[in-house]
Amino acid sequence: MRAAQVRRTGGPEVVEVVDVEEPRPGPGQVLVEVDAAGVNFIDTYHRSGTYPVATPFGLGLEGAGRVVAAGEGADLPEGGLVAWKQAPGSCAERVVVDAAEAVPVPDGVDAETAAALMLQGLTAQYLCASTYPVAPGDVVVVHAAAGGVGLLLTQMVVLRGGRVLATTSTPEKAELARGAGAEEVLGYEDFAARARELTDGEGVAAVYDGVGRATFAQGLDALRPRGTMVLFGGASGQVEPLDLQQLNAKGSLYVTRPSLAAYTRTREELLERAGAVLGWAAQGRLSVRVGGRYALEDVARAHEDLEGRRTTGKLLVLPEG
Ligand code: NDP
């Protein structure tokens, strides 16, 4: 079968699409025919070595597809559509998924939509429901609001009765953020001052920041007293160490650096969050924008586009082209 692999870390050019032996499901695992694999920023951190992974490794974590074989003790029916956020090597024609990670896809949700929601959708859900639980009337900043996490997070904050001040880098992306429910779209250069103006000097309840290095410091100035900085990624680079005394000086702020793994620690928690997100999609309450579809052979181009800031919404790799 064909699979995207990384033998040495580096730029998008190190991604190779090669013939490999089909993997076999072990106990508690299933073999899945991949209909759609999700492309995520974390794939670029793995490829570049920002997050170290032993080489060689199969690229991709997320996807959706049909179960073709089940290992001993894996209680999932053959032919059933499942989706997952964490199966290394998902950018391939077939992949082995731990049954504990595989979520049955409900009726009314297709494979592309499910693949688009497992990593970015569950992240958006835990960020606004658990990390800083948005209350009705809360004003929050969502950075990169036209991105994969951003478009979903904006919609989910609005579903909870919150108000979103978004940042994006282009007028087209601003339009998408507004379409997702953002009340105002701010420029990156002065978003903290604008957020204060728009909240009568008070500041916002939370900043959801997946951009990192370029936005973090200014974000602390956008927060109200006892506000929460949710740093969940570093699309522009990793944040410098923080002098904790700043949190005192700026009004008893909270800072957290959450990860999806810590918010889906049990099968029960995974199914609860996935059930909420896939349920909203099935009911038409959450709109999923697929901003790019790529053939398996073009996965390096998907990385270039994502890192080059040229994308909106979700990027999918379709192994069958
Ligand atoms: P996006 O689709 O949001 O793409 C990244 C966006 O970040 C770009 O489109 C761009 O939007 C913005 N950006 C700002 N500065 C830069 C820069 N210098 N280079 C590239 N992009 C920049 O990606 P994802 O939705 O996949 O991920 C968003 C963030 O969420 C990432 O940091 C990722 O690591 C993180 N993440 C964290 C998780 C967690 O649990 N902690 C789980 C999933 C994702 P614009 O042009 O509008 O500025």
Cβ atoms of 276 and 282 closer than 8 Å: no
Our answer on whether the CB atom of 38 is closer than 6 Å to any ligand 1 atom is: no
- What is the CA(108)–ligand 1 centre distance, in A? 28
Question: Is there a domain that residue 272 lies in?
Answer: no
Residues 134 and 255 in one domain: yes
Each residue's pLDDT tens digit, 125-147:
999 999 999 999 999 999 999 99
Residues 113 and 148 in one domain: no
Q: Is the pLDDT of residue 321 over 90?
A: no
- What is the CA(148)–ligand 1 centre distance, in A? 7
Helix boundaries (H) for 49-126 = 111-117, 120-126
Residues 156 and 90 in one domain: no
Query: What does the pLDDT read at residue 48?
Result: 97
| Mean pLDDT across 149-167 | 98
Query: What does the pLDDT read at residue 320?
Result: 85
Cβ atoms of 169 and 150 closer than 8 Å: no
Each residue's pLDDT tens digit, 192-247:
999 999 999 999 999 999 999 999 999 999 999 999 999 999 999 999 999 999 99
Question: What's 305's domain CATH number?
Answer: 3.90.180.10
Question: What's 171's domain CATH number?
Answer: 3.40.50.720
Question: Is there a domain that residue 268 lies in?
Answer: no
Whether the predicted interface score ipTM is above 0.90 = yes
Each residue's pLDDT tens digit, 6-17:
999 999 999 999
Instruction: Please count the structural domains in the chain.
Output: 2
Q: What DSSP element (H or E) covers 307?
A: helix 299-307
Q: Is the pLDDT of residue 269 over 90?
A: yes
| Mean pLDDT across 291-319 | 98
Beta bridge partners of 2: 19
Distances (CA, A) of 280 to 111, 119, 122, 199, 261: 15, 15, 12, 30, 22
Give the residue numbers spanning the domain of 33.
2-118+289-318
Question: Is there a domain that residue 171 lies in?
Answer: yes
> d(Cα 132, Cα 314) in Å, to the nearest integer?
24
- What is the CA(249)–ligand 1 centre distance, in A? 29
Residues 167 and 253 in one domain: yes
| Mean pLDDT across 53-59 | 97
Question: Is there a domain that residue 282 lies in?
Answer: no
Our answer on whether the CB atom of 235 is closer than 6 Å to any ligand 1 atom is: yes
Q: Which atom of ligand 1 is nearest to the CA of 314?
A: 2
Residue 175, classed as helix, strand or coil, is helix
Q: How far, in whole angstroms, is CA 215 from its chain's centroid? A: 18
Task: Report the nearest-CA residue for atom 15 of ligand 1.
Answer: 236
Ligand 1 pocket, mutate which of 239, 309, 310 (most atoms under 8 A from CB): 309
Q: Which atom of ligand 1 is nearest to the CA of 127?
A: 40
| Mean pLDDT across 68-72 | 97
Specify the amino acid at residue 121.
G
Residues 17 and 142 in one domain: no
- What is the CA(87)–ligand 1 centre distance, in A? 21
Residue 101, phi-psi category: left (phi > 0), alpha (psi -120 to 50), beta (remainder): alpha
| Mean pLDDT across 306-315 | 97
Q: What DSSP element (H or E) covers 290?
A: strand 290-295
Tell which residue, 169, 183, 78, 62, has the closest CA to residue 117: 62
Between strands 139-142 and 204-209, the pairing is parallel
Q: Which atom of ligand 1 is nearest to the CA of 263?
A: 40
Residues 134 and 257 in one domain: yes
Mean pLDDT, rounded, of the chain? 97
Our answer on whether the CB atom of 233 is closer than 6 Å to any ligand 1 atom is: yes
Kindly report the pTM of this predicted structure: 0.98
Q: Which atom of ligand 1 is nearest to the CA of 236?
A: 18
- What is the CA(41)–ligand 1 centre distance, in A? 6
